[in-house]
Amino acid sequence: MLFWQQIVLNTQDQSIMKFLTQPPRFLFFTGKGGVGKTSIACAAAIQLAETGQRVLLVSTDPASNVGQVFGINIGNHIIAIPNITGLSALEIDPQAAAQVYRNRIVDPVRGVLPDSVVKGIEEQLSGACTTEIAAFNEFTALLIDSVLTADYDHIIFDTAPTGHTIRLLQLPTAWSDFLEAGKGDSSCLGPLAGLEKQRSQYTAAVDALADPVRTRLILVARAQQTTLREAARTHEELAAIGLLQQYLVINGILLAGETEGDSLALAIFEREQAALNAIPDVLKTLPCDYIMLKPFNLVGLDALRQLLIESAPQTPVAMDSPIELNAPTLSELVNGIAADGHGLVMLMGKGGVGKTTLAAAIAVELAHRGLPVHLTTSDPAAHLTETLNGVLDNLTVSRIDPHAETERYRQHVLDTKGAKLDTQGRALLEEDLRSPCTEEIAVFQAFSRIIREAGKKFVVMDTAPTGHTLLLLDATGAYHREVARQMTGGIHYLTPMMQLQDPKQTKVLLVTLAETTPVLEAANLQDDLRRAGIEPWAWIINNSVALAQPHSPLLRQRALNELDKITSVADGYSQRYAVVPLLKKEPVGIGCLLELSRYAGD
């Protein structure tokens, strides 16, 4: 029996998803970017609220799009969702949380301590480390019994893509261990922060996460080998820290009925079936739900209510409706990049839009032209080597590994600053370097080191999903401000931020899909970059169904839905853009990546 037949049999009479059966108080949705975590979390929240439960939906993604899904502004405060009794939402905003955190520490000493001391405290609290801890404190406050959470039967967490989420869920234990040692410098938590209060809150958070009666983790994946492998890795990493109550949801499956007379639909179907039949062994034991691909965008209450219903009605589409799309290609963008001979090319965007594939395709094409290229990634969950699946002259590949970079940074500090300390001082320094904040500093230094190479060659960087990238840029900005403050008397200096702001040295490519929320998120990212003095060079609209000219009714409806989104990019967001089609064959391997970079239409 084919896997899709099993799915149909298993879901025919299913009125509720397994992951929503007897739900605990805390539900975490996690997975690789673009698998549908936000949509499923929102749909689950609606379903629970409409059964009379009081539900708080929380986004821990620094680039949350929960508000976009509901069509409202949410932000860093709890608000009621209109037209859904019992449902409220909160988007944890790291920057807003950091400002509240700084005010709480600094305001009591203003007018008490000298202005120079207060300014020093503010400088100490201006970095990315403070931003992460402030957001983390808001997250752990939701896992303990308090006035803040007393009104809710269920708290649903829509998390950032996997790499960031694993770090978030590991942090309660990391900070508890660090504080329990009681020997380290407390500077990462800020002066006068009150370590005892933090210790008790983090301990309570650890207990809640490890309690299967209170916490359930839902791993969301697509019927794709990469997302299923990542779900398997996430399962094992989080099980190792005690999160054992795990469920699996496989989203966006194309059924066989859509393949008739459509070679693209048939190729997608066969690819998905191969991935489902080769599902990693560690996932086979988990309770599993399947969600079929829908023809509509998952925005608004009506669409969200239909997501978890397998018999959702489809909008009829006229098979002779023209799908007219004439758009610039990726090859045209690569020509413009290659003309400079060297430079930094950064691909940014929402998780799951295909940054890794497009970064690899651009790097491969530049290297194939004889240009020296360093392809790298700052995404903890990226799989560049799997995408390349081969080697090429003129191309080197690396990954900013947070664990390796942290160890390198710790050793460097011990060899330099530590070499001048006595035994007691060195022991204190070693304790301080065990702080989870050390990772942020180490990753920033690795990022800075790599982009310096762009003066002599091409450096193509596949960045982490939007929220994590913004935190990295926050660290870059904090470093720039500190250097600028210290450099006086006309001394010449060049910071990584100055390089990112120089269009002659850096080209930022925003990657999106022709769907509502990815386009809105890319637009918000563009606004954030502009506020930092960084002007995106171009947009890439990836995996376009419209450009692939499908025949399946479901895919044609999705293709027609894309056209106004592509127009909005061309007319409202970027004069320079390219559209890349959804391909029959996955773009894996040097040859396929070259085909993708040179695609000129059928």
Q: Does residue 450 contact residue 398 with C-beta atoms inside 8 Å?
A: yes
Alpha-carbon span 174 to 180, nearest angstrom: 10
Of the residues 37, 294, 350, 355, which is catalytic? 37
Of the residues 517, 544, 552, 574, which is catalytic? 517
| Residue 31: active-site member | no
- Selection from 247, 180, 240 nearest residue 44 by Cα: 247
Of the residues 30, 59, 61, 88, which is catalytic? 61
Alpha-carbon span 117 to 192, nearest angstrom: 13
Of the residues 30, 32, 33, 39, which is catalytic? 39
Of the residues 30, 32, 33, 34, which is catalytic? 34
| Residue 34: active-site member | yes
| Residue 11: active-site member | no
Q: What is the DSSP string of 529-542?
A: HHHTT----EEEEE
Alpha-carbon span 17 to 10, nearest angstrom: 11
Alpha-carbon span 99 to 94, nearest angstrom: 9
Of the residues 36, 184, 252, 351, which is catalytic? 36
Q: By three-state DSSP, how is residue 579 classified?
A: strand
| Residue 146: active-site member | no
| Residue 350: active-site member | no
- Selection from 345, 333, 339 nearest residue 540 by Cα: 333
| Residue 488: active-site member | no
**3-state SS, one letter per residue, for 347-367:** EECCCCCCHHHHHHHHHHHHH
| Residue 61: active-site member | yes
Of the residues 30, 38, 88, 378, which is catalytic? 38
| Rounded alpha-carbon distances, angstroms, from residue 66 to 17, 26, 189, 518, 573 | 21, 18, 29, 12, 22
| Exposure on the CB side of residue 404, measured as CA atoms within 13 A | 7
**274 contact partners, CB below 8 Å, separation of at least 6:** 225
By the 10 Å C-beta count (0-12 exposed, 13-18 middle, 19+ buried), 186 is classed as middle
Q: Does residue 380 contact residue 562 with C-beta atoms inside 8 Å?
A: no
Alpha-carbon span 385 to 447, nearest angstrom: 19
Active site amino acids: 34, 36-39, 61, 517
